[in-house]
Amino acid sequence: MEYISIGKITNTHGLKGTLKVKSFTDFKEDRYKKGSLIYISFKDEFIPVTVSHHRFVKTLDYLTFREYGDINMVEKYKGSFIMFNKEEAKDLDDDEFYFEELIGLDVYTDDILVGKCDDVREYPQGEIIVVKRDDKKDALIPFRKEFVKEVNKELKRICLINWEGLL
């Protein structure tokens, strides 16, 4: 079975086993609905858990699992990733991508390598890709057609439009 990361557990909340999760998915309603089966990646294992409750507060998702009802049972999962079965993934349009597909791709401007996509951040205004550059600070690029010319998964590259001041 192949898994896709949809979030990272950042902390616990309360005493009843609720976990705070920074999500990487655009399909929160589907992934975290009551009764959904997802997995916690912990020590080279994928532990199946069933969502019993989900709520969204500010920038984090709060998840409670049917299998865990106590803070002492879930505290060990801080820093672990929340995964789902790739076979359950929705088919995306050609211009849509899972965050995990973008992370690690080389980033180019006019066939010049400028860095590597290190992270994708989600803001109310849209997604931002973080481009890790060797010699300079990280660049934050809006993941919009005005700035991104092409994403080629086969060549493992993101091509940016060459805008002055973008990098």
Q: Is 31 exposed, middle or buried (0-12, 13-18, 19+ CB in 10 A)?
A: buried
Which residue stretches of the chain are H helix?
28-31, 71-74, 99-102
77 and 22 both lie in a single domain: yes
16 and 49 both lie in a single domain: yes
In sequence order, the β-bridge partners of residue 49 are 38
Q: Which range among 81-85, 135-139, 162-166 has the greatest average pLDDT? A: 81-85
Residue 86 pLDDT level (bands cut at 50, 70, 90): confident
Residue 110 pLDDT level (bands cut at 50, 70, 90): confident
Does the pLDDT at position 47 exceed 90?
A: yes
In a domain, 151, yes or no: yes
Residue of higher predicted confidence among 79 and 24: 79
Quickly count: other Cβ atoms within 10 Å of residue 151's Cβ: 20
Residue 27 pLDDT level (bands cut at 50, 70, 90): confident
Q: Which of 46-50, 62-66, 134-138 has the lowest average pLDDT? A: 134-138
62 and 111 both lie in a single domain: no
In a domain, 94, yes or no: no
133 and 111 both lie in a single domain: yes
70 and 123 both lie in a single domain: no
Residue 90 pLDDT level (bands cut at 50, 70, 90): low
Q: What is the CATH number of the domain that holds 133?
A: 2.30.30.240
81 and 12 both lie in a single domain: yes
End residue of a domain, out of 67, 87, 107: 87
8 and 47 both lie in a single domain: yes
In a domain, 129, yes or no: yes
- Residue 100 to residues 8, 12, 54, 86, 137: CA-CA distances in angstroms? 12, 24, 22, 11, 22
Whether the Cβ atoms of residue 105 and residue 117 lie closer than 8 Å to each other: yes
Spatial distance between the Cα atoms of 25 and 29, rounded to a whole number of angstroms = 10
What DSSP state is assigned to residue 97?
Answer: -
Query: What average pLDDT does the structure give for the chain?
Result: 87
65 and 130 both lie in a single domain: no
118 and 59 both lie in a single domain: no
- 131: containing domain: 99-160
pLDDT at 158: 93
